[in-house]
Amino acid sequence: MIAQAVPEPMPLLTLAVCVTGLVPLAYLLWRHWKRRPLLRTSPAAFAPANPMTLGLFALVYFFLYGLAGLAVATTEPTAAIGGAFATLAGGLVLYRVAVRRAFRPRGGRGERIGRGFLALWAAMPLIYGVALLLQWLGFKEQQESIRWLADRREGWWLIALHAVLVAPVAEELCFRGLLYPALRQLRGPLYAMLLTAVAFALIHHLPAVVVPMVLFGLVMAWMCETNGSPLPCILGHMAFNALTVLQLLLV
């Protein structure tokens, strides 16, 4: 994932998403207050699966994803595109072999995706609000990939491709598609949500983005828990990264 401290001033696109996100947030809170929550946990949304096998698949696939990231860092188009296709193809195989066995999706595909995007949209004011607070406190570090895109350095389009397509697939399959159901089966949903969110945040290294990424990881885990599928997480992650990339390219 591309993670960053929000640029100053906050881009209009991000500001619009955050302000409008208060509407679905109010709607979800109202439904909860009326005891008709739209997003409900469901133990039946998960199928028995071997936690050790899921964890092993996650480690191997994350290693493959890391190699693809190194290929992007070389800015060699052939290596970077090859790594991207290998990661996506590996993700498709992994999804069919292991991930699908760990879930029993709730509702139709369109319904699951809609619920997922609604949850992510409602969480945007909180995620970006915390990022702005950390920036105000002096945490302004940015990932090298962010600077690469902002400066339009050679090979920036490879970074953008990796951020919008490859990273969401790989990270969501690893953290929500494999580790989450494994940890959930071992220790329960709350433990799985917290641990996968913290692990997901720590791979982004920088103090300025760790807390916002923990929040993002919790939202993704909640989407997984309430939908019984990592697909809304993958698509929501793509949309989130695409928003970051777009606003960097428009500056």
Q: List CB contacts of 55: < 8 A, sequence separation 6 or more.
A: 178, 179, 182
Instruction: State residue 3's pLDDT score.
Output: 53
pTM for the model stands at 0.91
Instruction: State residue 5's pLDDT score.
Output: 44
Instruction: State residue 9's pLDDT score.
Output: 47
Instruction: State residue 244's pLDDT score.
Output: 85
15: helix, strand or coil = helix
Flag whether 92 is in a domain: yes
Number of structural domains found in the chain: 1
pLDDT mean over 14-41? 89
- Residue 155: pLDDT band with limits 50, 70, 90: confident
Flag whether 244 is in a domain: yes
- Smallest Cα–Cα separation from 148: which of 211, 238, 69? 69
- The amino acid that residue 102 corresponds to is A
Flag whether 11 is in a domain: no
- The amino acid that residue 46 corresponds to is F
Flag whether 33 is in a domain: no
pLDDT mean over 207-233? 92
Flag whether 155 is in a domain: yes
Rounded to the nearest integer, the mean pLDDT of the chain is: 87
CB 3 within 8 A of CB 200: no
The 10s digit of each residue's pLDDT in 46-57 is 998 899 999 999
Flag whether 53 is in a domain: yes
Is residue 178's pLDDT more than 80?
yes
Q: Is 231 exposed, middle or buried (0-12, 13-18, 19+ CB in 10 A)?
A: buried
Flag whether 188 is in a domain: yes
For residue 182, the enclosing domain spans 17-23+48-250
- Smallest Cα–Cα separation from 245: which of 103, 122, 145? 145
In 40-145, which ranges are E strands? none
Flag whether 34 is in a domain: no
